[in-house]
Every structure is written in structure tokens, then in C-alpha cells.
Chains A and B, each alone.
Chain A
């Protein structure tokens, strides 16, 4: 009689053990996925150092300085900076060298350069730059005493010669027909205006007779109003140009005289070399009053409200130049001699100083006479770092 043994049945796991194992398996899978996601973000960041997606909503009341991301070189004494409406291009003006306007992509790759037609480097001085909602690029030029307008790719379109005259308007009046954009040119150092006739042959006109001016700072607000500073001697002022003039089909009846405010001086409502103007959500116009070392605030009707930012202590300005305001009414002001960017809160009735970033030097995140700033919708900030010959890119 042999004893038979029954095979041992598999251990009968109780349901609690099964749940525990499933839970462990789920946790392990979750951790693996998380590891993969973090690895993906890390590799993506290494390849393209852009702001990471916000996984959790950031409380709007938190204000913290941005951090340095990268620098864009290939520029010689950069002064003005702007981004395209889509945020995919950065336009920079140069003070030295060939004095070109250079275009970069957001990774800092040089896409091209352009300049006013028929000018040499000694005949042009591009300073501040801005783009309208159509992507047209506007550049103020101190030597040409004009605003020169290009398309998105840098092809010349037209010149705003004075507050009441464009070059296309001048050519149209003399030829009786509307000239094609860019089919004409004028260099203030030359005697003739050049244009192409109907057959495509180059013709000349005498130089236009008009009152000179000195456009300097230029910005467009969200509704395509042009905010322009004018440093014509003894008549420093700000002009706010309605969008219907900017966006009209042609500029054959041009007139920038709609709203102009301010005079030259050091008192209330006066400017000494206003370098830029922007507006906030309360329709206040905020002007960097350069040589007075302050911000000058006006209401939407062009009435002076108050000064801000002069004196000493945190937030006090030395030589305010370019400025940009974000969707939360945080005003970013470049202080050229302070060697930093100061940020103010303009969301309430009284502005307040928030923080500054940057210091003097040549290292990453340090400035050597910064001059202008542009913001894009992704939280990036572009600052021209003039004597370090670069554009610094910062990010929130």
C-alpha cells in the first residue's frame, strides 16, 4: 500500500494580499511613468531651455524675479529689441558696426539682417523698434530723423518722415499714383528721392521739404495704438496714435497729431529725453523720463497724473530707458546706469516697486549698459546688453 500525496495546491492568496500586490504594481507603474516624464522634460530642457509647463497653477499674487536663460550674440552694441506678434522672432537694433537690424529665432539663431535702403552705416542710427499686430517692423532712426517701416522679413515698406508726411504720400502726390510698397527710397543725406515708374524704371524726385522731428521710443499696445516719444529739441513729448491710422490700407493721408502731451523740462508734465511709453490696463500711459531719472504717468486723455521712481532707495531709477508691461500690469524698466531691470506693480491706483534683476558685470545674468526690453507671451524677457554685445534672455 503506497501512500499517494496530493500535489500541493498553489497558495490561496486571500483577497487582501491580492489588493496589496495590485496596489504595489500600480505604484510601481506610476513611478515608472513619472520617471519617464521627468526624463523627457530633462532631455527637452537640455535641448531647448524654455520655461517648463506649469503643472500647478501659480498664485497670481506671487511675484518673483525671472531667471537667466541664455544669451544671443552676433550683435554689435545692441540698443533696441522687439518680438514678432507670434513670438517666434526677435528683432534687434545695433548702435555700432554696420548698424543693422538683425532678426533671430527664439533659440538665438541669426535669421537675417536689414537696414534702410541706400544708406551706409554712417548715415543710419537705428534705435528703438516695435512690431504691430500685422507683424510690420517699425524702427526709429536718429540720423535719418524718421520711423522706417519693414515687413516681417525685413523688406522695406515705407518711411514716416514727419508727423504729417510719409514717403509713400510724398511720392504719390508727385506721381499721381500710389506707389507699391518699397518701390521708393530716401536717404536724408542725399538730395533725391528714388522711385520706380510704371515701367519699372528708376526715377528721381527732389528731396521733400518738411519739418524735421526726432522720434525715439516706439511701442504698440494690444489694440495697435502707437505710443511714440519725440525728442525734438525743446519739445520733448509723447504721441499716442490711434490704431485706425496705423492699420489704414495706405498712408497717403498720414497724421500723427491726434494726441500729444508733455513739454521739455524737469517739472510736472515735462520730460528730458523720454525713451519709451507704454500703457497699462487702466489706460494710463507710463513714460520713462530718461534724463530726469523717473517714470511719468499720464491718464488716457493726456493729462499728467504723477511722477514715480526718482530719488533713492529700492526701486529708484538712475537712467530709465526701454520698458515693457505684461498682462498683469507688471512694468519692466531698464535702468541703463543702474545696470539692471526694475519691475513695478501698476495693477492698482498707486504703483509699487516689486523687485529688480541683474547687476553690473560680464557674466551670465549681468549687464553692461542694458537699454531695452521686450516680453513675449511665454514669459520670456529679452534685454539688450549693449556693452556686452548680446541680448540676454530671461524667463519667469
Chain B
């Protein structure tokens, strides 16, 4: 009995210790202790310069103070869409150094300039399909910035995705990545489309939906075929499923892409750009449909 008590106390002590120095969601984004002094990292109780008691006129400016191209406070450089740990390989236990972030990049991706991005600077509140009609831009409830989709204080969702986006409840299961997170390896759950669907609702359909007079590719459906295609030149293109499901992120980057659009694909996207697609031209189609 004493041994059991001792082990229990030891486990509780370890849990308390780990909770104090680390965060399941990463860095300063959650798992705060009762006596934390982390608040002042971003907020002022009485002398804040903007709402939410932030020391920031722009949420994006605040976030890129750590996560920007200089990566002065984080390894996840969202401007360039790259993980810069300086630690070398170790793929499998944690993110490999230089690994491309699954979200893409807001300024560059893969060392090339972004060709289309979500605008995270808070300058725009328009989203395709927000008015429940595909192919039409409409306003969402707020101007888009980092905090529109991510909760800086932590979240039970994958990658601190907010539990409510654009007024819509969002659930994206936190996948079990083991002891170390891996930002470069797909570990999405099948619910990943819920993040996009909060603003782009009419694009999230698991069946052929024609309610607005157009057809859209199904998402949130399983796919058992190959997701990799090699052409006659030996060039290969592949995409990733989410636990066997096709989700929005199978074909699109949520942050930004450097994919190039040429020929018929040039300007053919809904925004006249690369439409956040993961592959050049329509490589994402070929990965599965292999024509």
C-alpha cells in the first residue's frame, strides 16, 4: 500500500513538474500555472494599446515577433513555412530541421516566393463561399488574422485551432504524436476540414452537392486508392490523406503556397492565382486520379 502511495505521489509530482515547464500545445501557448507571469508577454492589464488588452495594433505583427522569418522566438517560421530547429535530422521523434510546415508559408514556401496566401494581417474579411454560395466572395464575422483560426492560449484542438471560428463550433481532434510534435509529418484527423468549413461552408460536402447549382469535389470521404502518381518523365506528385480521408488540406495549404500556375491553370483559380494549392498547376488532381 505504501509503495502504491509512493508511486502515486511520484506520478503526481512528475505531472505537476511537466505541467510547469512544458506545454502540450507548445511554448507559451497554454498549460499556464496558477502563478504564471507569462501574461505580460503579450498583455497589459491597464496600459494595453488595443482590445483584448494586447500590446499590439496587429495580431499578425505580434505573432511574427516569434514566428516570423527571423524566428527569434520559435522554431516554427510561418512566413517561410519551415521548421528551423538547428537540430539536424531525428525525423520520427520530432520535426526534422528544415522540414516544410504542413500549413505552408505566408511569404515563401520551399525557398520560393508565395503565389497565393490567406491574408493574416487583419486587412480583409472576405471569404469564398462565406455567403453559402460557391465561387462568390462574402464577408465573415471578423477580419482574418492568426487568432481567427488559432487560439494563442492553447486549445484541445490540433495545432491550437480555435474551438469556434467565424461563429461556428470547430472540433479537430488532437492526434497522438507521442512525446515530440512533428510539424513536418501529416497527423491530421478526419475532422480537419471543419477548420476550413467554418468560413468556406459550401465547399465542405461529403457527397455531390448541387444545392447552389454547382458541383464540388467531395471532402471528408475515405479514399483507398493511390495518392501518388509518376509521369513519363519520372516526375512524381503525391498528396496526403487524413487517416484515410480526403480533407481540404489534402489539396490546399491553409497558410500559403508557392505553387506555380501555367498554361490553362494560369489564372484559372477562383482568385486568379494558385488558390493555395499544394502542387504546381493541377498536380493535386493527378496524385489520385492519375490521368
CB contacts (< 8 Å) of A230 on chain B: these are: 86
Please count how many residues in chain B sit with their CB below 8 Å of the partner chain's CB atoms: 46
Which of B38, B72, B87, B258 interacts with A233 by CB under 8 Å? B87
Q: Closest B-chain residue to A210, C-beta based?
A: B88
Contact of B198 with A by CB under 8 A: no
Contact of B126 with A by CB under 8 A: no
A156 to B110, CA, bound (A): 25
In the complex, chain A residues 120-142 whose Cβ is within 8 Å of any chain B Cβ: 120-123, 125, 127, 142
Chain B contact residues: helix, strand, loop or mixed: loop
In the complex, chain A residues 351-392 whose Cβ is within 8 Å of any chain B Cβ: 360, 368-369, 371, 386-387
CB contacts (< 8 Å) of B109 on chain A: these are: 122
CB contacts (< 8 Å) of A120 on chain B: these are: 111-112
Contact of A368 with B86 in the complex, beta carbons under 8 Å = no
Which of A123, A125, A214, A371 interacts with B85 by CB under 8 Å? A214
A235 to B94, CA, bound (A): 14
Contact of A189 with B by CB under 8 A: yes
Q: Closest B-chain residue to A294, C-beta based?
A: B37
Contact of A291 with B28 in the complex, beta carbons under 8 Å = yes
Of B60-68, B152-160, B166-174, B227-235, the stretch lying at the interface with chain A is B60-68
CB contacts (< 8 Å) of A99 on chain B: these are: 69
Contact of B112 with A122 in the complex, beta carbons under 8 Å = yes
**Shortest beta-carbon distance, B97 to chain A, in Å?**
5
Contact of A95 with B by CB under 8 A: yes
Contact of B218 with A by CB under 8 A: no
Contact of B108 with A310 in the complex, beta carbons under 8 Å = no
Contact of A339 with B55 in the complex, beta carbons under 8 Å = yes
Q: Closest A-chain residue to B86, C-beta based?
A: A214
Taking residues whose C-beta sits less than 8 angstroms from the other chain, chain A's interface range is 35 or more
Taking each of B56, B61, B71, B72, which has the highest tally of chain A beta carbons within 10 Å of its own beta carbon? B72
**Shortest beta-carbon distance, A147 to chain B, in Å?**
12
Contact of A337 with B by CB under 8 A: yes
A291 to B28, CA, bound (A): 8
Q: Closest A-chain residue to B90, C-beta based?
A: A233
**Shortest beta-carbon distance, B205 to chain A, in Å?**
36
The answer to whether residues A143 and B72 also contact, given A291-B28, A310-B37 and a CB cut-off of 8 A, is: no
Contact of A336 with B84 in the complex, beta carbons under 8 Å = no
Q: Closest B-chain residue to A264, C-beta based?
A: B21
Which of A235, A290, A310, A312 interacts with B72 by CB under 8 Å? A290
Contact of A278 with B by CB under 8 A: no
A residues near B (Cβ < 8 Å) are: 77, 79, 95-96, 99, 120-123, 125, 127, 142-143, 145, 188-189, 211-216, 230-235, 265-267, 272-273, 275, 290-291, 293, 310-312, 316, 318-319, 321, 336-339, 360, 368-369, 371, 386-387
Contact of B73 with A360 in the complex, beta carbons under 8 Å = no
The answer to whether residues A360 and B40 also contact, given A125-B71, A369-B61 and a CB cut-off of 8 A, is: no
CB contacts (< 8 Å) of B71 on chain A: these are: 125, 127, 142
B residues near A (Cβ < 8 Å) are: 20-21, 27-28, 37-38, 40-42, 49, 55-58, 61-62, 65-66, 68-75, 77, 79-80, 82, 84-88, 94, 97-98, 107-113, 258
Which of A121, A142, A145 interacts with B77 by CB under 8 Å? A142
A234 to B86, CA, bound (A): 10
Contact of B73 with A142 in the complex, beta carbons under 8 Å = no
CB contacts (< 8 Å) of A232 on chain B: these are: 85-87
Which of A121, A122, A265, A319 interacts with B73 by CB under 8 Å? A319
26 A-B contacts (beta carbon < 8 Å): A79-B70, A122-B80, A122-B109, A122-B111, A125-B69, A125-B70, A125-B80, A127-B70, A143-B77, A143-B84, A145-B84, A212-B86, A214-B84, A216-B72, A232-B87, A234-B87, A266-B20, A266-B21, A273-B74, A291-B27, A291-B73, A310-B37, A311-B37, A337-B62, A369-B61, A386-B65
CB contacts (< 8 Å) of B37 on chain A: these are: 293, 310-312
Contact of A79 with B113 in the complex, beta carbons under 8 Å = no
Contact of B97 with A336 in the complex, beta carbons under 8 Å = no
Contact of A213 with B86 in the complex, beta carbons under 8 Å = yes
Contact of B85 with A142 in the complex, beta carbons under 8 Å = no
Contact of B21 with A267 in the complex, beta carbons under 8 Å = yes
A77 to B58, CA, bound (A): 14
**Shortest beta-carbon distance, B269 to chain A, in Å?**
21
Contact of B84 with A337 in the complex, beta carbons under 8 Å = no
A142 to B73, CA, bound (A): 11
CB contacts (< 8 Å) of B98 on chain A: these are: 188
Which of B56, B72, B77, B94 interacts with A273 by CB under 8 Å? B72
CB contacts (< 8 Å) of B49 on chain A: these are: 339, 360
Contact of B74 with A293 in the complex, beta carbons under 8 Å = no
Contact of B41 with A318 in the complex, beta carbons under 8 Å = yes
CB contacts (< 8 Å) of A360 on chain B: these are: 49, 55, 57
Taking each of A145, A337, A371, which has the highest tally of chain B beta carbons within 10 Å of its own beta carbon? A337
A157 to B109, CA, bound (A): 28
A133 to B42, CA, bound (A): 38
A366 to B69, CA, bound (A): 23
Q: Closest A-chain residue to B38, C-beta based?
A: A293
Taking each of B38, B40, B70, which has the highest tally of chain A beta carbons within 10 Å of its own beta carbon? B70
**Shortest beta-carbon distance, B260 to chain A, in Å?**
14
A203 to B113, CA, bound (A): 29
A338 to B113, CA, bound (A): 32
**Shortest beta-carbon distance, A273 to chain B, in Å?**
5
A213 to B111, CA, bound (A): 19
**Shortest beta-carbon distance, A337 to chain B, in Å?**
5
CB contacts (< 8 Å) of B82 on chain A: these are: 143
CB contacts (< 8 Å) of B112 on chain A: these are: 120, 122
Which of B55, B56, B61, B72 interacts with A275 by CB under 8 Å? B72
Contact of B57 with A233 in the complex, beta carbons under 8 Å = no
